Chain A
Amino acid sequence: MAAILSEPAAAQLRAQLQNAVIQCSDRCLSQSAKWAAEILNSFQETTLVDGSETEPDSSMSDASPSDEDVFILHDPIEVALEKKELPRYLLAKAYFDCREFDRCAAIFLPANVAKGPIRTSSPIHPQSIGKGKRKATMPTEKRSIAVSLVGISQKALFLSLYAKYMSGEKRKDEESEMILGPADGGVTVNKELNDVSKILEDWFSYRNTAGGMDSNGGGWLEYLYGIVLAKNKNERLAKKWLLESVRVYPYNWGAWVELSSLLATSDELSAVIEQVPPNIMAFIFHIYSSQELYQSTDRVHANLNEIESIFPTSSFLKTQRALLYYHSKDFEEAESIFSDLLQTDPYRIDSLDNYSNILYVLDLKPKLAFLAQLATATDKFRPETCCVVGNYFSLKSEHEKAVMYFRRALMLDRNFLSAWTLMGHEYVEMKNTHAAIESYRRAVDVNRKDYRAWYGLGQTYEVLEMHSYALFYYQRAASLRPYDPKMWMAVGQSFGRVGKCANGIRSYKRALVAGSYYDTGAGSGFGNQDGLGAGILDPEVLYQIALLYERSQDNEECAAYMELTLAQEEGPEDQDTSDTTVESIGVGVTPTTSKARMWLAKWEYSQGGFQRSMELANELCQDGVEVEDAKALVRDIRARVEKGYGGQGMKKQVDAVEKRYVRST
């Protein structure tokens, strides 16, 4: 794709996007409309001005879609139908805007469809949907429904079915009652799903069999069908129909988002990318999905640069970039992007929850408070706002209040992923493991790609000392974030706990590799272990490896790793000092290295290396860690040496070591 669009191409793209806004709002897809409108307004300023100045007739942007618009439907039948039913359509839209979904659906759908679902395959009990009496519908009616729907336009059909779907969602939310209550979770389902999917299935098959007609649904009906299928966990079919939708009409951003949420791995993503027509929307989709899949590679960044040259002021793209930095643990960079975004568009609340996560990690309390204040001033009843406030309270260790705000966020939107995860974290802090597990589980149900939730699940089970469960979840997290040492450490630890030392050692080694990968990368270290210089291996990991070796009776390996742990105190040897400067200084004395030193001292002692042991023990005394144990060891060594173990030479050496230390302290 060309970096800079040619003049006519840009004009066409503008027209397309403009049309997309209208089409989406005609169908009450407000989020997609918002997205398209935002993108539409983020064109490079110059092209807009130039276009309107140089070409007098290039007022394409506000002209009706021209003939070249391949994606816009110009079916004469549809146009005629739409014209005919315009008053009724307007009424339906008005009802929809007033959130009277049932009433909206009833305008176009025939009474038997709107009122009573066709009960052919659905197993739902007749107690559902409080819409009065329901007659048992004849199977023979099935065909007639699709026929009866012929008389209305696709737009009207979409709006009606969408209203029906929305009404089901609304009712589902109402019936779910309290967050984490007994009716929350999988108990309640959208009872309209089966009807809608049935109608759509009939409609499509009728279209296909009737022939002659263009068999697609303008992209919109496919999109709706895809959503319904995805909700019914029929993901393969859903993906197929969503692909179909974006192929027919690519400017519906909602379809892309849905499609992205169905992708589990980057392999699937590349498979999908091959199936969609290579247009600008597919390009943006690629970036978005990569971000969602934590693929923070240089290629994605390059793509992002390219697309940003077309839409330089798009907050959406900037957010994507910030999130990419966030995923690669480059928090400062992400923070500065979000900070800029905040200044250019202070009323924007979208993805502020991610910003608050970044501020949380950076421990910028005043700024987080300011952000919370800002979001609250704009709209205090947005799930994002509640998440920001919840994060702030969490940072202040007021976990009860944090949970309150996360719950509020979930009341506002039950599918709000980060609130579920964050609430899980809070419940862990409050030692309410049961609620924590449920929260994480809900988060994972909403989005299976959320590694934090998987990791949280693992942690919670670890607290409950159910290590095989924890292992399972850690593995899921690690598979999502293969380059995150924290995940691998957790996996290794769990392996250790369930007694699979070899696997544990492999995992830890993987963590070492991942850690060095990140350390040499652009970002700083990660999480709580900030400041690990380049070339330094995490002593904790090394120590754990050593311990696992010890458990598997491989003391030689163990000692080697203990030595390695100790070596991290000084940092890498002088071969590294040439290219790294100040950072190459080691971690210094930490509890972990001290433990390693103790172990080594004892190990040397048992091996008869009294001099080394003495040296290590005295070092311990000097560092002031485990002084008692170290002194006891010194006494033991002395006793042994006095008794003549190791000969006279040894005694002298030990004395020399001791003298050296006594003098220096």
Chain B
Amino acid sequence: MSRYLTPPKIGLLALVRLYCEGAISSSGAISILSFIVSHLLPPLAEGSDDEHSTRSFTLPVSEFDKATSTLSSIHPGQSVFDLLIHRLWSIDSFHALHEFFSGLTDLLNHSKERDNESSFSSPPSATVLSRTSPLGAFVRRAQLEFTRLQFNDAQKLWIAFLKYKSPTAAAWKRRSSAASRITFDVNIDELGIGSDSDLFQVAYGTLHQPIHSEELSSTDDIERLLAFQADKLQRLGIRMPHDMKENLRGMVGPASTVPSLSHFVSFFDAWRAGNYTSAFDNLHRYFDYTMQAREKTFYQYALLHMAILQTDFGCLSEAISAINETIATARENQDMSCLNFSLGWLNHLNQAFPHQMRGIRDQGLNGSERDALNFLKLKAKESKMFSLLSSALLSEARLDLSYGERSITKAFQHIYQASHINIRENLSGGFGSQLLMHSAVFGRLGVEHLASAYCDIILKCYRPNVPTEEMLRAICRMSFTAARSGRYEHAIQMLESVRPGVHRTLKFSQTITGYLGLVKLLQAMRRSNRTAAEHILQQLATGFSFNPDLRTLILQLSIMFHIRLGSLSKAFDLIEELANELKEETADISQRLYLLVMKARLYAKAGEPQKGFSVALRAASTAHRFQAFPIFWEAIGFIANILSHLNEFDAARRMLDAVIPQCLENGDTELCALLYSFQADAYMGLAGRAEEAGRRRTACVSKAEVYIDRARQHYKRIEDWRGECEMLKKRAIIARVRGDDNLANDWAAQCLSVHNAAQEKMENIVD
């Protein structure tokens, strides 16, 4: 494999030459130039994926045809492609190839002293290329590389070139008037030998073999390709498609020297595939090869990668020791960027795995998290590492949300700072995490539509730039929200529509599966499909520990499941267990609050809501303080319920009145249903209080009926037929209380039919 020159490059050079000689009409010049340049300059990092996938990397000769045959040249009746073919076929011997390359000098703007020498020797072409222009640089590079070629390498290039242009032989014969000269080498013509002679076999024996992609690609191309792959892998975390892998293997070839970057690519690939051992193998191989080529500064990067790799496979203690080593080495080598990055990463590790990190951190060298963050911010600002600064700000925002009281404003401040930096420095990769953070804050504030909108922005606007992991998180989040409000089909469809390429990475695939399971579990639970829910829960319980979010959600849902099932003691045990765990690791406040609310719900379910009073009150006050509104509403709902039980119906009603509108706005359908049913209960209580058959009682009863209907609608929306039945029963009871037995019967019959329909549906599903 040659270092740089390939047959397609010769084609491009010929095109450049045509352009410089003014053979291309001015209307076609722009498209020719853009064609040339698009194959010379490295692919833009910001370019969209589709463009790359459609373009063949090796640029077959048919591409030239496509690009140039429609453009007319200055010669009437001849397209640029005709001229190009003529140019290519006029290179009719190995010597002519040499001449072609040495003739390229004419295209360049000579430097002054050389100008004096050769001013009269060669007439300058119509357009003279500046030595530093893209085309000039290309021509110069090509010339230099050709000079550097060993003779036999040049010969290989020549043979490859012959093979490359052979598809145009028919076109050349058709178009050229001098049809007598049809062979590719004048010497063959002169000697008058056919393709069956021995001499021909010696010189061009390999010509009939099909062209390998190895011959068409140079080390330079491969390196560019690999750099693109590595970038994709590293930035977006997607694995290489299979056909690309095949292609690459064909290009790299069996015998030629393999660029060390390819080990890096295969390392990433193996990593994403979840292949621990070969990932390590390839990483070490890569660094073994690069170490010899460059200085030892790569050592800390090797360690850094190792640490990330170790974490990814769950070996935290090894990861920590590796990252500590990285930090030490980076300090020693004064590599600020590496140092900052590893500190940032360590910080991230602390937040992501607080439980596992606790034991390790004690012996660690970093103080409190906030100190570390401040240090990081300072350093990042000093060394102008803006992406690090942005991510440090986001980390701080996250910290605010977890621990700080009334800290939403502070969190917003940090987020907006990060956003500012992202925009100012055009850190397209940083938008994802920032928007996600934004969305999380709004989620916590209970403004679900805004939260969703931010996720939508990620998906709609930043898809090509945002790491796949963040994109996935946005999708999962949106999907789960959809599931919660009863749009199960939509949620599932959203998860399933994720590009198949993402599934090639093991972790992503697992995350998607996990969320799919969650959505289905939620649906099964609400439909009271016990077998299905148990089954899914069992599947989910095994191994999703790598993703803390997912794990928490699964635990919450399993508690919920037990509550619904009625196995309250089991649920209580689970809550206690989780609460202890969270207390130890000083986890995110919202999780702990959720547990408190859960407990209140448990007591309510157990029929002793009063016992949950203190719990609910605490949850409510804390949630209010931390502005975790969805939890706050739920807690208020339970308090109201308790108040109803304590016959404080009016207080309960008023509380619920205050909360319900906000909750409706948030769109958590289940909570709304719950709150409405509580409200109905409160009104029924008020009705009980009022004098018999008075106007007030009737009003209260009818209000209660309205609320029951609303709750029923909400339950229906989330397919919770049990809730629906309960509401129908309540209607029936109310009807009986009113003395309207027919109506009561109707409600009862309706309840029965709903029950039966649900049962039938379930059986259908089972079938």
Contact = CB atoms under 8 A, between A and B. Distances in A.
Interface of A: 339, 342-343, 345-347, 365-370, 372-374, 376-378, 380, 389, 392-393, 396, 398, 401, 405
18 contacts: A339-B191, A342-B199, A343-B198, A346-B197, A346-B203, A366-B187, A367-B187, A368-B95, A370-B185, A374-B199, A374-B202, A374-B203, A376-B151, A376-B155, A377-B202, A393-B151, A396-B98, A405-B151
B199 A365 contact: no
A35 B622 CA distance: 104
A392 B150 CA distance: 13
A345 B98 CA distance: 27
B201 interface: yes
A366 B202 contact: no
B475 to A, nearest CB: 58
A377 B95 contact: no
Nearest to A390: B151
B202 A347 contact: yes
Contacts of B246: none
A370 B93 contact: yes
Contacts of B205: 377
Contacts of B193: 343
A91 to B, nearest CB: 36
A377 B155 contact: yes
B151 A366 contact: no
B243 interface: no
A365 B152 contact: no
A293 B487 CA distance: 102
B203 A377 contact: yes
Q: Of residues B102, B151, B190, B197, which shows the largest number of chain A Cβ atoms within 10 Å of its Cβ?
A: B151
Contacts of B93: 366, 369-370
B444 to A, nearest CB: 72
Contacts of A339: 191
B20 to A, nearest CB: 23
Interface string B48-78: 0000000000000000000000000000000
A569 to B, nearest CB: 28
A396 B102 contact: yes
A365 B191 contact: no
A343 B155 contact: no
Q: Of residues B95, B98, B191, B197, which shows the largest number of chain A Cβ atoms within 10 Å of its Cβ?
A: B95
Given A374-B202, A396-B102, A369 B152 contact: no
Contacts of A370: 93-95, 185, 187, 203
Contacts of B152: 376, 380
A346 B201 CA distance: 9
Given A369-B93, A373-B158, A396-B98, A346 B202 contact: yes
Interface in B161-217: 185-187, 190-191, 193, 197-199, 201-203, 205
Contacts of A396: 98, 102
B95 A366 contact: yes
Nearest to A369: B95
Given A346-B202, A374-B203, 15 more contacts: A342-B199, A343-B191, A343-B193, A366-B186, A366-B187, A368-B95, A369-B93, A370-B95, A370-B185, A370-B203, A377-B155, A380-B152, A392-B151, A396-B98, A398-B147
Given A366-B94, A366-B95, A367-B190, A343 B203 contact: no
A393 B197 CA distance: 28
B195 to A, nearest CB: 13
A343 B197 contact: yes
Instruction: List 9 A-B pairs, minimum CB-CB distance, nearest first.
Output: A369-B95, A370-B187, A346-B199, A366-B95, A346-B202, A369-B94, A366-B93, A389-B151, A365-B95
B202 A378 contact: yes
A624 B130 CA distance: 39
Contacts of A401: 147
B96 interface: yes
B155 A373 contact: yes
Interface of B: 93-96, 98, 102, 147, 151-152, 155, 158, 185-187, 190-191, 193, 197-199, 201-203, 205
Contacts of A377: 155, 202-203, 205
B408 to A, nearest CB: 73
A346 B94 contact: no
Contacts of B190: 367
Contacts of B158: 373
Contacts of B199: 342-343, 346, 374
A376 B151 CA distance: 8
Contacts of B203: 346, 370, 373-374, 377
A373 B94 contact: yes
Nearest to A368: B95
A367 B199 CA distance: 14
A458 B96 CA distance: 36
B292 to A, nearest CB: 25
A389 B149 CA distance: 13
A76 B203 CA distance: 52
A472 B112 CA distance: 44
A346 B191 CA distance: 13
A380 B193 CA distance: 24
Contacts of A342: 191, 199
Contacts of B102: 396
Q: Of residues A339, A346, A366, A373, which shows the largest number of chain B Cβ atoms within 10 Å of its Cβ?
A: A373
Nearest to A397: B102
Contacts of B187: 366-367, 370
A366 B188 CA distance: 11
Nearest to A344: B198
A372 B97 CA distance: 14
A374 B197 CA distance: 14
Nearest to A372: B151
A339 B199 CA distance: 11
Contacts of B186: 366
A346 B151 contact: no
A299 B95 CA distance: 40
Q: Of residues A370, A389, A393, which shows the largest number of chain B Cβ atoms within 10 Å of its Cβ?
A: A370
A339 B197 CA distance: 14
A187 to B, nearest CB: 31
Nearest to B203: A374
A570 to B, nearest CB: 32
Contacts of A368: 95
B196 to A, nearest CB: 12
A67 to B, nearest CB: 41
B179 to A, nearest CB: 21
A398 B191 CA distance: 27
Contacts of B151: 372, 376, 380, 389, 392-393, 405
Contact of A366 (B96, B147, B155): B96
A347 B198 CA distance: 9
A405 B147 CA distance: 14
Contacts of B201: 346
A378 B199 CA distance: 11
Contact of B98 (A343, A369, A374, A380): A369
Contacts of A392: 151
A393 B198 CA distance: 26
B117 to A, nearest CB: 14
B385 to A, nearest CB: 46
Contacts of A376: 151-152, 155
Contacts of A347: 198, 202
A559 B94 CA distance: 52
B494 to A, nearest CB: 61
A346 B204 CA distance: 12
Contacts of B96: 366
A378 B151 CA distance: 13
A558 B193 CA distance: 57
A339 B190 CA distance: 11
Contacts of A366: 93-96, 186-187
A365 B155 CA distance: 15
Given A370-B187, A380-B152, A389-B151, A346 B198 contact: yes
A45 to B, nearest CB: 18
A83 to B, nearest CB: 43
